[in-house]
Amino acid sequence: MIWNEKIETMNLEDLKEVQSKRLKSMLDYIYNNSTFYKNKFDKEGINIEDIKSIDDITKLPFTTKEDMRDNYPFGIFSNKSKLAEIHVSSGTTGNPTLVGYTKDDIGLWSDVMARTLGCAGAKPGDVIQIAYGYGLFTGGLGFHYGALEMGLTIIPCSAGMTKRQLKIMEDFKPRILACTPSYAMYMSEDAKDMGMDPRKSSWEIGIFGAEPWSESMRTQIENTWNILATDVYGLSEIIGPGVAQECTNKEGLHVFSDVFYPEIINPTTGQPVKEGEDGELVFTTFTKKAIPVLRYRTRDIVSMTNKQCKCGRTSPRISKIKGRTDDMIVVRGINVFPSQIEHVLVNIEGTTPHYQLVVDRSSKNLDTLEIHVEVEQKIFSDEIKKLTQFENKIQDEIESMLGVSVKVKLLEPRSIERSIGKAVRVIDKRNI
C-alpha cells in the first residue's frame, strides 16, 4: 500500500515546489536556532535570502560526520530543551554521534517508517516481527514506531536469541520480518537445526537493511525463506531507518525526498554527478527539528534515477550501496571504524598501534570480527591463563565501545605486514 499517497505520488513539479518551500523554511529555522549553522553561514558569507529554489541547494555548504563529532554532544542541536528521545550511533573515535528527536521528529519518523512498511508491501493488521536491536540502536524503535503508526501487531523481539525468534515465528505467524540480511541467513541455519523447513515460514515479506548486501544474497534469502526480500536504507544522522525503501518491484530504493532531499556528488570535487552515475549520497533534512542537517555527506556510494517507477511513487530511487568513501565497515548491522579500535588500544598498556580488523562470514552466515593486535614482548607469559585474561580485557573494552561481539587475537611483534603508504587496517573476507 502507499501510506502517504498524496505526497508519495505527487507529480514532480509540485514535489519540486514543496522541496523549494521546505528548503527555505529549513534554512530560516537552522539559521535562527542552530549556533553551528549560524556561525557556518556567517563565516562563509551565505545569505539565506539568496536561496530561491531547491536548485540553489548546491550553493550551500556540506555537513560532515566530523562536524557532528566536533560539536558533540549538543553543538549542532537547534533546540535541545524539547528533546523527547536520544539515541547514539558509532562515531569514528571514542565519542559517539548523538541522535536526538523532538516529539515532532518522532512523529516524522513514525510517518516515514509507515511509508517504508507500506512500500515493502505491509498493510494494517499484519503481524511484524522486529528483530533489529532495540535500545540505542535506531533499527528496533524505528520499525516499532512505524508499525504502531500503520496499525500492525508488533512482536518486539529485538536481535539475537535465534531459537526463541524462530519459535515465536511458528507460534504467532508474523507476515513481516525486519532484521539485517545476514541475520535472516543466520536464522535459516538454526531453523534447519530445529527441524523446521524455512520455506514454510510464515514470513512473506522481509525488510532487510543496516548493512550492505548484494543481489545474489537477496536471491539466496528469497529462496531459503520463500519470502519477498526488500532493502531498506537509513542512517541515524538523518533519522535512522526510513530514509529510502524498495517497493515490491525491487528496482531501487524510493527516497522520501519530500523530507529527506538526496543529491549525488563526486566525493572529491563535491560537484553533482550526472543522473545514473555513481557518487556519494548527500542528504538534507527539510522538516527535522532536533538535529536538522544540511547536505550531510553520508560517505555511501550509490547511483540515483529520477525515472518513474511502476508502483506509482514519483520519488527518485537510489541503487543498493556500492561502496564507501571511507574505511567504515558494517558488522552485523553495526558501523565500525578502525579508528575506534585504535582509540581503545592506545589506552591499554602492552598493546601496540599495529592492528588489523579481519571480517568474515561464518558458514552459519554470521559476521565475525577478529581484531588482530600485536602486543609487546613483555606481555607474553608461559601461563595461558594470563594471556587469555589479557585477550579478554581487550575484548571487553572493544565490545563495550562497539556494541558488537569480537574475537581478539594476540600477535607477536612485527607479524602484521607493514605497508609503506597507508596501513591496511581492514581485511574483509566476506563475499557480500
Residues interacting with other proteins, by CB under 8 A? 72-73, 83-88, 96, 98, 125, 127, 134-136, 140-141, 148, 151-158, 161-164, 167-168, 171-172, 383-385, 388, 400-401, 403
Residue type, 283: F
C-alpha cell at 71: 560539536
The per-type count for the chain, helices as H runs and strands as E runs, is 11, 21
Q: Shortest approach of other proteins to residue 54 CB, angstroms?
A: 33
Q: From the CA atom positions of the chain, what is the Rg in Å? A: 22
Q: Shortest approach of other proteins to residue 366 CB, angstroms?
A: 11
C-alpha cell at 366: 554470521
* Backbone CA torsion sign across 334, 116, 12, 290: negative
- Burial of 337-353, coded b for 16+ CB within 10 Å and e otherwise, reads bbebbebbbeeeebbbe
Q: Shortest approach of other proteins to residue 72 CB, angstroms?
A: 7
Residue 278 CA: distances (Å) to CA of 263, 272, 274, 301, 310: 11, 10, 9, 6, 23
Residue with cell 549560524: 38
C-alpha cell at 391: 585477550
Strand 323-324 vs strand 260-265: parallel, antiparallel, or unpaired?
unpaired
Nearer to other proteins, 127 or 373 (CB): 127
Q: What is the DSSP string of 106-144?
A: HHHHHHHHHHHHHHHT--TT-EEEE-SPPSSSHHHHHHH
Q: Shortest approach of other proteins to residue 140 CB, angstroms?
A: 7
Do residues 311 and 338 touch, judged by C-beta distance below 8 A? no
Rounded to the nearest 10 degrees, the angle between the axes of helix 138-150 and helix 103-120 is 80
Q: Shortest approach of other proteins to residue 30 CB, angstroms?
A: 21
Nearer to other proteins, 61 or 73 (CB): 73
Residue type, 260: F
Q: Shortest approach of other proteins to residue 178 CB, angstroms?
A: 13
In this structure, what are the phi and psi dihedrals at residue 86, rounded to the nearest 5 degrees?
-125, 130
Report the C-alpha gap between 150 and 147 in whole angstroms: 5
Nearer to other proteins, 42 or 172 (CB): 172
Residue type, 346: V
Nearer to other proteins, 141 or 217 (CB): 141
Nearer to other proteins, 86 or 346 (CB): 86
Nearer to other proteins, 151 or 323 (CB): 151
User: Cis before residue 272, ω within 30 degrees of 0?
Assistant: no
Nearer to other proteins, 158 or 257 (CB): 158
Q: Shortest approach of other proteins to residue 240 CB, angstroms?
A: 12
Nearer to other proteins, 156 or 270 (CB): 156
Residue with cell 563475499: 431
Q: Shortest approach of other proteins to residue 167 CB, angstroms?
A: 8
Q: Shortest approach of other proteins to residue 125 CB, angstroms?
A: 5
Nearer to other proteins, 90 or 314 (CB): 90
C-alpha cell at 54: 531547491
Of 376, 286, 301, 244, the closest CA to residue 22 belongs to: 286
Nearer to other proteins, 10 or 185 (CB): 185
Q: Shortest approach of other proteins to residue 208 CB, angstroms?
A: 19
